[in-house]
Chains A and B, each alone.
Chain A
Amino acid sequence: MTTFSELAHGIPPGLVLIIGAGIVPFLRGRPRDAYLLALPAVGLLQIVSLETGDHIRASVLGLEILMLRVDRLALVFGYIFHIAAFVGIVYALHLKKTFEHAAALAYAGSAIGAVFAGDLVTLFVYWELTAITSVFLIFGRRTPRACQAGMRYLVVQIGSGVLLLSGTVLHYLDTNSVAFGHLGVTSPGTTLIFIAFGIKCAFPLLHNWLQDAYPEATVTGTVFLSAFTTKLAVYALARGYAGTEMLVWIGATMTAFPIFYAVIENDLRRVLAYSLNNQLGFMVTGIGIGTEMALNGTISHAFSHILYKALLFMSMGAVLYRVGTIKGSELGGLYKSMPWTAAFCIVGAASISAFPLFSGFISKALIITAAAENGYFVTWLVLLFASAGVFHHSGIKIPYFAFFAHDSGKRCEEAPRNMLAAMAIAAALCIGIGVYPQALYGILPFPVDFQPYTSTHVLTQLQLLLFSALAFAVLIRTGVYPPELRSTNLDSDWLYRRLGPLAAGAVSRRVGRAAALLRNGAKARLEDVAGWFSRHHGPEGAMARTWPTGATVLWVAILLGAFLIASFSA
């Protein structure tokens, strides 16, 4: 075993998956399946055998690089990322497209590598790798919309990486160190890094890429996407910015505002994307509070969140896979065709809604209690409101519109067996954690002195859930619940393509003619600039023409003359 242990400490975690992914395209059939499943298992085995401490050091470009830093914070994320990779692979096992498997594995590997990175440069490399590998999961859908969304996603993610790198350089010039420990928003460098993390974590106003891209990804790709990118950002924030007061408010906003979007959204996978944003809000709040209990809450919530969010995306993916659409207005009554999927979806919904005995309950309670104990009263109220909202849109809306509501008449097969198996694993873990929280509490970075199953907690939560359910029922009964309207205004295209421009038009009318003139002026100026560029740099433009030899001679003369005059007169 010593040799295995040495080996485990000699290779950065994640590399097993990244390098292993390179072999996937060369395999076919059963051996490929076995290989795909073995990779995350081997990776998990590796990190289980890791001992706490700094392991692989190197010096690159004169910087102290620490490629393997093991502590309890990194380990928790390492465990759950491997589990998520395994579940995702099981879910995607039916795919013939090996390329997507390879991309997914490399993506998971990059996220794992990032978690164990002990310095900002290594983190940056993995940070960009997650962006590049994951975009193929979106492109893989092969629709024009997916291609465009993928490009937008890539631009944002790479942009986040560029900010991280710029911040790292500035931070290095300030402190002469690239170590990744607690940073805090104290200097221009750390501020840039903070924004880079914020983009990846989908902070309010920086969040659009998430709802834009995730619903456009492939059925299986979304499951992977939902697990890694944003949770990597949560990890990075927890490591670098714990206790940053600003995060409490950012997080609280994040929990609340997606609820309204989620309620009016028709694409059920996009609803989940909004609720993903909302769940991230809880974690960010926990980081902002920054006490041991709050951080434990954040990390355990990230852990359980990955599982139930993946479970929900898997169930909706199965529906999309079988039915071909995921629009709430076109679905309904599918419980008859897909009973197992419906059951798993309800487990996921119960977990995300934090029903007692499900995983969400035992982790979210930590954060909310931490908020209350540390005197964040307004935050505490917002979090309670958000919890009710989660139940509303994820807990009830998702299963209700997909599997119940009024029968759409659609009949299909139950999901493929591998999909059911993946959902079963995730569902079992969700319930397992909910029933026996000590297993999760035991691996958290700080000792947990918290009892989730007290009568106060359970009763408060049940009250909250009941009233939320009541609200939903009332809205449905009275016919004011938006998706029941079944009109085109539910389609997100409409929001982007009509409402946006309309709103912009209305605003500009109010601002008045001056603004309109300014806009026209700016537009004309832009057209001028574009025209100027294509005139001068286009294939026939002055810059690109084959110039007569005389022009060069003239330039030579000008440069020589200028240089001589400048030198002589100096």
Chain B
Amino acid sequence: MIAAHYAALQVVAPLIAAPLCVLLRRGALAWLVTVAVSWIALAIAIQLLVQVMATGPVSYELGGWAAPWGIEYRVDSVNAFVLLIVSGISAVAAPYAHHTVVREIPEDRHYLFYSAYLLCLTGLLGITITGDAFNVFVFLEISSLSSYALISLGGERKALTAAYQYLVMGTIGATFFLIGVGLIYAMTGTLNMADIAARLDPVEHTRTVLAAFAFIIVGLGLKLALFPLHLWLPNAYAYAPSAVTVLLAATATKVAVYTMLRFVFTLFGADFALDVTFFAEFLIALALVGVFAASITAVFQNNVKRMLAYSSVAQVGYMMLGVGFFSVTGLTGGIVHLFNHALMKGALFMALGAVFYRLGSVRIEHMRGLGRQMPLTMFAFVLGGLSLIGLPLTVGFISKWYLILAALERGWWPIAGLILLSSLLAVAYVWRVVEAAYFRDPPPDRPRATEAPLALLVPTWILTLANFYFGIDTSVTVGVAADAARALLGEGG
């Protein structure tokens, strides 16, 4: 009975829990609700994925209204996988949040934090699951507005500026996206994604549809921090509370990437994107420039959170590169990197959150000599860093393997070389942290730091070890990603 409503529950559960947190008004209770809902969401996401892999796409008509008129939730292998990423990260990040929230946010705002956290989760899950183009915009705004609030809760005054900047830029992105959806609606008279896909063909070559495509790509490019539209991201990640950074870094850009995949491949179709526009060339060029510009910038950062934020911009470049190849292997690489990057950045930002919990700073000069004082935390950071670099046996290797394979398949040797070369930049910035933590003596004015509490270490290590588990056993991740890639390219599956 209830199984039939999983798709709705996926979004409704956190949506109902958010106001519940406000009613409870107690930080600890709100936290418990958040953890419980996150775990429920993960359980549902796993159920949905199993169901989709077994029997094909699941369609759910909200309120019983049939598809083109009512809002349809539609789960196929692509978004079932993204749902798993979002809810999985939230299920680990929510338990982690408690300690860092107590440390970083005034007590009278705790319940508001959890409420905003749940709304953000609602928005991210909603964007992913819905089969309705306008509904995407609604959830996009829910997740964006709540994440502006979450970022502004960061301790430093700069957090306010960062949140405000993100607000302005995010709104521009969302507006562009809405303009694009509006233009499509004008041409097709429908908002249901499957319906749009069917009706877009005859009007494909009109300038209106081309403009719609451009607006949607640029709008989403802003949300997913495609270089050079990434300017909001470094500050937003750097000054947000630790738990928020974990959640946003691991999920928000992934969901935006998914939305772009959905619109480009399902709505417009790969043929349209390839033949009518310069989408692939545009994407590959920006992705490559972004990978290098952002990685080099990361090398020079002294705030480690900001360093990893720039690295995220570079990693988005890898995902876009995979998309730009327009092949099953490339898309598999891009999609599997959604998952893998969530794991590595989640682990890294969690380790940094633990450092911030003890030191009150994540500046590289303050982290000197930390390898001996917080051995478990720093070792998790090192392992996460190895995964970021792409060492074999880690998930980072799997992603790069498919990307390089895709580049070689197309015969684009220089791009394969550039991917390898850019990994070296990751070595450089990860090494700076390792050097400070393990080969330098602690600054004399810093009090001796002790190991982070278990409540922070356990989630950190869960994600760290997941980096290795999914780096060795790739049957689930690559299997689903390859299936999703074939589905997007319309090659069955």
Contact B172 A553 (CB under 8 A): yes
Query: In this assembly, does A518 line the interface, its C-beta being within 8 Å of a C-beta of chain B?
Result: no
- Whether B278 contacts A570 by the Cβ 8 Å rule is yes
The answer to the question of A556 belonging to the interface, with a C-beta cut-off of 8 Å to chain B, is: yes
A35-B408 Cα distance, complex, nearest whole Å? 48
Interface residue stretch chosen among B69-77, B85-93, B118-126, B216-224 = B216-224
Tell me, yes or no, whether B401 is within 8 Å of chain A by CB.
Answer: yes
Say if the beta carbon of A175 comes within 8 Å of chain B.
no
Partner of B282, one of A61, A546, A552, A563: A563
- Which of chain B's residues have a CB closer than 8 A to the CB of A564? 210-211, 214
Q: Is A560 an interface residue (CB 8 A)?
A: yes
Docked complex Cα distance between A124 and B397 (Å): 13
CB pair A567–B276 under 8 Å, yes or no, is yes
Q: Of B207, B222, B392, which one neighbours A556 at CB under 8 angstroms?
A: B222
- Contact between B235 and A169, CB atoms less than 8 A apart: no
Interface residues of B in 269-328 (CB under 8 A from A): 276-278, 282, 293, 296-297, 299-302, 306, 310
**Is A466 part of the binding interface, using a Cβ–Cβ cutoff of 8 Å?**
no
- As a 0/1 sequence over residues 388 to 411 of chain B, the CB contacts with chain A under 8 angstroms (1 = contact) are 000111000010010011001000
A559/B276 contact (C-beta < 8 A), A546-B235, A567-B213 known: no
Contact indicator A563/B276 (Cβ below 8 Å): no
Check B232 for interface membership: any CB of A closer than 8 A: yes
* Any B CB within 8 A of the CB of A128: yes
- Report yes or no: B172 in contact with A563, Cβ–Cβ below 8 A: no
* Interface-located stretch among A327-335, A345-353, A533-541: A533-541
Instruction: List residues of chain A with CB within 8 A of the CB of B468.
Output: none
Partner of B300, one of A544, A547, A552: A544
Contact B221 A559, beta carbon cutoff 8 Å: yes
Is B420 positioned at the interface, with any CB of A under 8 Å from its CB? Answer: yes
Indicate whether A162 reaches chain B with its CB closer than 8 angstroms.
yes
Q: Output the nearest chain A residue to B210 by Cβ-Cβ distance.
A: A567
Q: Mark A105-121, 1 if CB is under 8 A from B, else 0.
A: 00000000000000000
**In the bound complex, how far is the Cα of B299 from the Cα of A448, in angstroms?**
58
Q: Are B301 and A539 in contact (CB-based, < 8 A)?
A: yes
Chain B interface main SS type:
helix
Q: Which residues of B contact A537 (CB under 8 A)?
A: 293, 296-297, 299-300
Assess whether B228 is interfacial by the CB under 8 Å rule. yes
- Chain B residue, CB-CB nearest to A555: B228
For B234, list chain A residues within 8 Å (CB).
Answer: 544, 546
Kindly list chain A residues whose C-beta atoms are within 8 Å of the C-beta of B161: 546
Write out the residue numbers on chain B whose beta carbons fall within 8 Å of the beta carbon of A556: 172-173, 176, 218, 222, 229
Docked complex Cα distance between A552 and B167 (Å): 12
The reply on A568 being an interface residue by CB < 8 A is: yes
CB-based nearest B residue for A124? B392
- Nearest to B310 among chain A residues (CB) is A544
Instruction: Specify which chain B residues have a CB less than 8 angstroms from the CB of A125 in the assembled complex.
Output: 392-393
Judge if A515 is at the interface, Cβ distance under 8 Å. no
Residue of A nearest to B296 (CB): A537
Docked Cα-Cα span, A544 to B235, in Å, equals 10
Q: Tell me how far the C-beta of B441 lies from the nearest C-beta in chain A, rounded to whole angstroms.
A: 13
Chain A contacts with B in 547-562, Cβ cutoff 8 A: 547, 549, 551-553, 555-556, 559-560
CB-CB under 8 A from B168, the residues of chain A are 549
- Minimum C-beta distance from A305 to chain B (A): 30
Q: Are B300 and A541 interface neighbours, CB within 8 A?
A: yes
User: Within the assembled complex, what's the spacing in Å between the Cα atoms of A552 and B296?
Assistant: 20
A566 within 8 A of B: yes
B478 close to chain A: CB less than 8 A: yes
- CB-nearest residue of chain B to A147: B439
Q: Which residues of B contact A173 (CB under 8 A)?
A: 408
Is the CB–CB distance between A567 and B214 below 8 Å? yes
Distance of A477 from chain B, by nearest CB (Å): 48
Quick check: B398 and A61 within 8 Å, CB to CB? yes
Say how far A486's CB is from chain B's closest CB, in angstroms. 35
B contact residues around A128 at 8 Å (CB): 391-392
CA distance A563 to B276 in the complex (A): 12
A205 contacts the other chain (Cβ, under 8 Å)?
A: no
- Complex Cα distance, B413 from A166, in Å, reads 12
In the complex, whether B8 has a CB less than 8 A from a CB of chain A is no
Q: Which of B367-424 contact A (CB under 8 A)?
A: 391-393, 398, 401, 404-405, 408, 420
In the complex, are the beta carbons of A563 and B300 less than 8 A apart? Answer: no
Cβ-closest chain A residue relative to B277: A567
Q: Is residue B474 contacting chain A, with contact meaning CB distance below 8 A?
A: yes
Q: Which residue of A lies closest to B389 (CB)?
A: A158
Q: Measured between C-beta atoms, what is the minimum distance from A23 to chain B in Å?
A: 17
- B393: chain A residues at CB < 8 Å are 125
How far is A128 from B276 in the complex, measured between Cα atoms in Å?
45
Measured between C-beta atoms, what is the minimum distance from A146 to chain B in Å? 11
- Known pairs A538-B300, A560-B218, A567-B210; A60 contacts B474 (CB<8 A): yes
A534 to B299, CA, bound (A): 10
Is B135 interfacial (CB-CB < 8 Å)?
Answer: no
Chain A residues with CB under 8 Å of B232's CB are 552
List B contacts of A147 (CB < 8 A): 439
Nearest A residue to B408, CB-CB: A173
A563 touches B301 (CB 8 A): no
List chain B residues, Cβ under 8 A from A166.
420
Interface centre among B222, B235, B276 (most CB of A within 10 A): B222
- Chain A 133-155, CB-CB to B under 8 Å as 1, else 0, gives 00000000000000100000000
Let me know if A539 and B302 touch, CB within 8 A.
Answer: yes
In the assembled complex, the Cα of A570 lies from the Cα of B276 at a distance in Å of 7
Residues of A within 8 A of B420 (CB): 162, 166
Q: Which partner residue on chain B sits nearest A144 by CB separation?
A: B439
Interface assignment of B466: CB less than 8 Å from any CB of chain A = no
* B232 closest partner in A (C-beta): A552
Kindly list chain B residues whose C-beta atoms are within 8 Å of the C-beta of A549: 165, 168-169
A82 to B222, CA, bound (A): 57
Most A CB within 10 A of own CB, among B229, B282, B296, B401? B296
A543 at the interface (CB under 8 A from B): yes
Most chain-B CB neighbours within 10 Å: which of A61, A173, A551?
A61
Cβ-based interface call for B29 (8 A):
no
* A560-B215 in contact (CB<8A): yes
* A555 / chain B contacts, CB cutoff of 8 Å: 228-229, 231
Please measure, in the bound complex, the distance between the C-alpha atom of A166 and the C-alpha atom of B405, giving whole angstroms: 11
B210 and A169 contacting across the interface, CB-CB below 8 Å = no
Contact A563–B277 (Cβ < 8 Å): yes
Given the complex, which residues of A lie within 8 Å of B439, measured CB to CB? 147
Is A552 a contact partner of B172 (Cβ separation < 8 A)? yes
Q: Known: A169-B408, A552-B169, A556-B172. Contact between A543 and B297, CB under 8 A?
A: yes
Are the CB atoms of A169 and B405 closer together than 8 Å?
A: yes
> Could you say which of A61, A162, A560 contacts B401, with CB atoms under 8 Å apart?
A61
Q: Which residue of A lies closest to B286 (CB)?
A: A559
A169 touches B276 (CB 8 A): no
Q: What A residues does B222 contact at CB under 8 A?
A: 552, 556
Which residues on the A side are within 8 Å of B213 (C-beta)?
Answer: 567
Q: Are B297 and A544 in contact (CB under 8 A)?
A: yes
Contact between A544 and B408, CB atoms less than 8 A apart: no
For the complex, what is the distance from the CA of A533 to the CA of B297, rounded to whole Å?
Answer: 8
A-facing residues in B139-181 (Cβ within 8 Å): 161, 165, 168-169, 172-173, 176
* Nearest B residue (CB) for A161: B392
A133-B210 Cα distance, complex, nearest whole Å: 55
Q: In the complex, which of the residues A124, A546, A559, A566 contacts B229, with contact meaning CB atoms closer than 8 Å?
A: A559
List 22 interface pairs A-B (beta carbons < 8 Å), by A numbering. A61-B478, A125-B392, A169-B404, A169-B408, A533-B300, A534-B300, A539-B302, A541-B297, A543-B293, A543-B296, A544-B310, A546-B165, A547-B231, A549-B165, A551-B231, A552-B169, A556-B222, A564-B210, A566-B282, A567-B277, A570-B277, A570-B278
Q: Which 4 A-B pairs have CB atoms at the shortest separation, nearest pair first?
A: A537-B297, A543-B297, A563-B214, A547-B231
Known: A166-B420, A169-B404, A551-B231. 6 other contacts (CB 8 A): A537-B297, A544-B301, A544-B306, A556-B218, A568-B210, A570-B277
Chain B positions within 8 Å of A, measured between CB atoms, are 161, 165, 168-169, 172-173, 176, 207, 210-211, 213-215, 217-218, 221-222, 228-229, 231-232, 234-235, 276-278, 282, 293, 296-297, 299-302, 306, 310, 391-393, 398, 401, 404-405, 408, 420, 439, 474, 478
